[in-house]
Amino acid sequence: MNKTALFVILSLVAGFAAGAWSMSASEPESGQATDPATYFDADAPASDRLAALERIVAEERDARLVLEKQLHALLADFDRIDTSDLQELLRMAAENRAQMEEARTQRDDRRDSRRAMRDYSQMRTTQLVSGGFTEARANQIVALEDQVRMEVLQAEYEAQRDSTGLDLWDLAYDAQASLREKLGDADYENYVLANGGESTITVREVIGSSPGKRAGLMPGDQIVSYDGSRVFSMVELKSKAFEGNPGEDVVVDIERDGQRMQLVLPRGPIGITGNGARMNYRYPFGG
């Protein structure tokens, strides 16, 4: 064999051996990876080096045979797997994952609920302070809210024990009236505004031939007081209309285009629809 042919053979074998090393070199009995440098001695004859390369190629071939055998065994295991069993395992895994997610959601909800209960008073205080109250006054108002809420719960309890009828609207009105009495008109007005309500009654419609129409009420007018008493809602306005003697003249204070005006109406139905401060039974008085 001439030198050129030998060089080509050595180059091909060396390249193949290098690929074998990069894929997976055989391991000695000690369990440590074989160091490719141990196969070659730069000073060894070419025949020895060629023999070392042939040994590497043989080891690489044996390793490939082992891998092929393992691959065939693995494929055989997959063939023996029952598809229905695999689907059942996947279903069980999905159910377990869903149960874990539901449990985590319930845990988060309970934590959020506890946090909301702890933060409720602080939230109410912050809201009232943002509405213009001092922190000390806001804390007092929150305490008054709690007092009125307990009055509502006690009224519900007694009505159920006595089997008497209970009108929730009347209960809501009484609760608002109780809080208003404790706060006073000025603070109650600020309280309503701080909770996003309206401090006057806005006239939406005036019925034709009604006392309100004859007195000059117009849609858009803001009713401020009735017979000298500050009113914040239609419920309060209707309640005031039942006081005193039917048909007697009463003075109604209104605002129109920013101007304060007074109208005289007979006590009784005014003949309007409108909206004012919300009479919300559940917030902040519900429990």
* Number of domains the chain is built from: 3
Q: Does the pLDDT at position 262 exceed 90?
A: yes
121 vs 200, more confident: 200
Q: Which of 169, 194, 219 is a domain's end point? A: 194
Those residues whose C-beta lies under 8 Å from the C-beta of residue 207, and which sit 6 or more positions away, are 213, 271, 272
Q: Are residues 244 and 265 in the same domain?
A: yes
| Adjacent-strand bridge partners of 229 | 226
Those residues whose C-beta lies under 8 Å from the C-beta of residue 125, and which sit 6 or more positions away, are 135, 138, 139, 142
- The string of pLDDT tens digits covering residues 29-84 is 444 444 544 555 667 777 777 787 788 888 888 888 887 777 777 666 666 655 66
Which has the minimum average pLDDT: 4-8, 66-70, 91-95, 165-169? Answer: 4-8
Q: Does the pLDDT at position 117 exceed 60?
A: no
Q: Which residues of 210-232 are buried (b: 16+ CB within 10 A; e: fewer)?
A: bbbeebebeeebbbbbbbeebbb
- The answer as to whether 206 is a domain residue is yes
- The answer as to whether 72 is a domain residue is yes
Q: Are residues 164 and 215 in the same domain?
A: no
Q: Which of 194, 210, 236 is a domain's end point? A: 194
Q: Are residues 214 and 253 in the same domain?
A: yes
The tokens of 239 are what?
């309640």
Q: How confident is the model at residue 23 (pLDDT cuts 50, 70, 90)?
A: very low
- The answer as to whether 187 is a domain residue is yes
- The answer as to whether 40 is a domain residue is yes
- Kindly state the average pLDDT of the residues 23-34: 45
pLDDT for 190: 92
Average pLDDT, the chain: 77
Phi, then psi, of 172 in degrees rounded to 5? -65, -45
Which one, of 172, 135, 141, 139, lies nearest residue 155 by Cα? Answer: 172
- The answer as to whether 104 is a domain residue is no
Which has the minimum average pLDDT: 77-86, 172-181, 222-231, 237-246? Answer: 77-86
pLDDT for 98: 81
Range of the domain at 64: 3-77
Q: Are residues 132 and 181 in the same domain?
A: yes
Q: Are residues 69 and 28 in the same domain?
A: yes
pLDDT for 113: 63
Q: Are residues 255 and 219 in the same domain?
A: yes
Q: Are residues 208 and 179 in the same domain?
A: no
CATH number of the domain enclosing 228: 2.30.42.10
- The answer as to whether 10 is a domain residue is yes
Q: Does the pLDDT at position 151 exceed 60?
A: yes
